[in-house]
Amino acid sequence: MTNAAELARRIVGSAVEGEQVEVCVGRSVRTEVRVHGGEVESLTLAETAGVGVRLIRDAREGVAHAGTFDLDVVDTLLAEARDNATFAQPDDRVGLAVDDRVDRVAIDPWSAEVEATPVEAKIGLALQLEARCRALDRRVRGVRTSIYGDSRTETAVVSSLGIDASRRATSASLSTSVLIDDVEGSTRTGAAVEAARTPGALDPDSVAAKAVARGIALVGAGRPRTGRPLIVLEPRFAATILGIVAGMLSGERVVKGRSPFSERVGEAIAATDLTMFDNPTDPDSLGAAASDGEGLACRTVPLISAGRLDGFLHDSRSGRGLGVGSTGSAMRAVRGTPSPGHRSLRVAPGRGDLECLVAGIDDGLLIASLQGLHSGVNAVSGDLSVGVEGVVIRNGELAEPIREGTLAGAIPRLLQDIVAIGADLQRQPGGAFVPSLVMTGLTVGGAGG
């Protein structure tokens, strides 16, 4: 990453007195293999590079970016950002990050194996995944798609206030979606994804088994009856819901009055068993990073402790809005500006695994899919209404599957209605490390009362 960092320093070195300048330089290499019917449907090998410049003068911010490292283009960016700043409105929250002297954790989530693995081997993983899906059960009608993907990313952030940070990461993944024959000619689907730091850590057999099992579990599904059963979320769905919660704990949302948790620091907002924090310095997480999008050191950020709200995720801008410092939580793309977010949510474990939790429930629903989350969650009020599929829990055992239901409630209330937290922590492809959850207070809508 030396050349990219030097490029960033070159631009910053051209700043004049009275200007604050920050440069973000990034490069990524991506592979994607899609297979269908035992053949390669598409193969993508793509490399991208970019430079983003932020310039601040007199509380006005100007930005400019380029999708190249070509010096003839790059050398015009500072002037372009300077010109753009003249059209911006003054904002007292505008400013670059100031090094807060938090030590960077020595982590390097990078593996040379991603680049060293031949493309033929990557194609083989996708083909193996598809073949395994087809062979597992006679009810598998087909495989919609099987995908292998990987990436190698490198980023540097340099600023005129002394920030100079570089980071890099690799990842690889396998995903598939299978089609399962159901009664009366209908079709159920089952999907699964697995991600790791390297291709060699991926297990096509495991991904196929999960996808097929999830589809078969919904064979014969009917409409649910309206009611308020206990809702059981296995770790992948618990990570989804808690990720939405973490999004509501963005300091920028709080500053703008768009979070249901504004002005509630220190208050009980969840069940006392829930402790949740962002842990981007965990080297085993695919969200791990030594520095954030502004070049500050990443660190563990407490969010909820024994049900009480500890605070919010901040970048420098949102921190200024609330009179606090950054939590090293800035997320940044070369073409954008920083904003606060989470990288690696973690929940303190409770007791028991998914099977144990199910065994203790007389009337419940084990969630198998959630649909429409992007449009079905109001991030300001916390209201939730999404499509749902699942398996009914009756007297401690899994019973009939349901489909075409709705799940409705409010996320602020949902947190208080958590009645059990499992000990079955699972790392998710997005970086979270969470267990199963059981909650009450949500309504399942369906065929009738």
Tens digits of residue pLDDT in 109-141 = 999 999 999 999 999 999 999 999 999 999 999
Please, what is the average pLDDT of the chain? 94
The residues that bridge with 384 in the sheet, in sequence order, are: 377, 409
d(CA 27, CA 19): 26
Is 2 a residue whose pLDDT tops 70?
no
* CATH label of the domain that carries residue 205: 3.30.2290.10
Strands 276-278 and 301-305 come out as antiparallel
Give me the DSSP letters along 207-235: HHHHHHHHHHTTTT-BPPPSB-PEEEE-H
Same domain, 265 and 202: no
Instruction: Answer whether 237's CB lies under 8 Å from 373's CB.
Output: no
pLDDT of residue 245 exceeding 70, the answer is yes
Residues 124 and 252 in one domain: no
Residues 211 and 312 in one domain: no
DSSP summary character for residue 250: B
Quick one: 94 exposed, middle or buried, by C-beta within 10 A (0-12, 13-18, 19+)?
buried
Distance CA 304, CA 341 (A): 15
Q: What pLDDT, in 10s, does the model give residues 299-335?
A: 999 999 999 999 999 999 999 999 999 999 999 999 8
Final residue of a domain: which of 196, 216, 236?
A: 216
Burial class (CB within 10 angstroms; exposed 0-12, middle 13-18, buried 19+) of 295: buried
What is residue 296's DSSP assignment? P
Q: Residue 382's pLDDT band (boundaries 50, 70, 90)?
A: confident
Q: List the structure tokens of 122.
A: 């990557």
Look at the chain and report how many structural domains it folds into: 2
pLDDT 10s digits, 46-95: 999 999 999 999 999 999 999 999 988 888 999 999 999 999 999 999 99
Identify the residue whose tokens are 């693995």: 117
Same domain, residue pair 167 and 242: no
- 235 & 268 share domain: yes
Question: Is residue 99 exposed (0-12), middle (13-18) or buried (19+ Cβ within 10 Å)?
Answer: middle
**String of b and e for 402-423 (b: at least 16 CB within 10 Å)?**
bbebbbebbbbbbbbbbbbbbe
Q: Compute the average pLDDT of residues 195-207.
A: 97
Domain end call among 216, 248, 275: 216
pLDDT for 447 equals 62
User: Do 276 and 383 fall within a single domain?
Assistant: yes
Per DSSP, 348 falls in state -
pTM above 0.75, yes or no: yes
Shared domain for 254 and 185, answered yes or no, is no
- DSSP at 442: P
Distances 273 to 156, 175, 230, 374 between C-alpha atoms, Å = 39, 33, 17, 28
Structural domain ending residue among the three candidates 153, 184, 216? 216
Contact between residue 260 and residue 411 where contact means Cβ atoms under 8 Å apart: yes
Average pLDDT of 348-355? Answer: 95
Question: 143-147, 378-382, 423-427 — which is least confidently predicted?
Answer: 378-382
- Of 208, 218, 223, the C-alpha closest to 187 is 218
The per-residue pLDDT for 404 is 92
Rounded CA-CA distance 162/263 in Å is: 33
The beta strand positions in 252-327, using DSSP E, are 276-278, 301-305, 308-309
The pLDDT of residue 448: 54
Tokens describing residue 237: 């769905």
**DSSP notation for 80-139:** HHHHHHTTSPP-TT--------PPPP------THHHHS-HHHHHHHHHHHHHHHHHH-TT
Single-letter amino acid, residue 213: A
Q: What is the mean pLDDT of residues 422-437?
A: 95
Q: Would you state the pLDDT for residue 202?
A: 98
Rounded to an integer, what distance in angstroms lies between the CA atom of residue 425 and that of residue 185?
A: 38
Predicted pLDDT at 184: 78
Check whether 296 has a pLDDT greater than 90.
Answer: yes
How much is the pLDDT for 59?
Answer: 94
State whether 204 and 265 are in the same domain. no
Q: Using the predicted structure, report yes or no on whether residue 1 has a pLDDT greater than 60.
A: no
| AA identity, residue 302 | P
Calculate what percentage of the chain has a pLDDT beyond 70. Answer: 99
98 plus 229 within the same structural domain:
no
Residues 128 and 249 both lie in one domain: no
Q: Which residues span the domain enclosing 274?
A: 221-449
Same domain, 317 and 257: yes
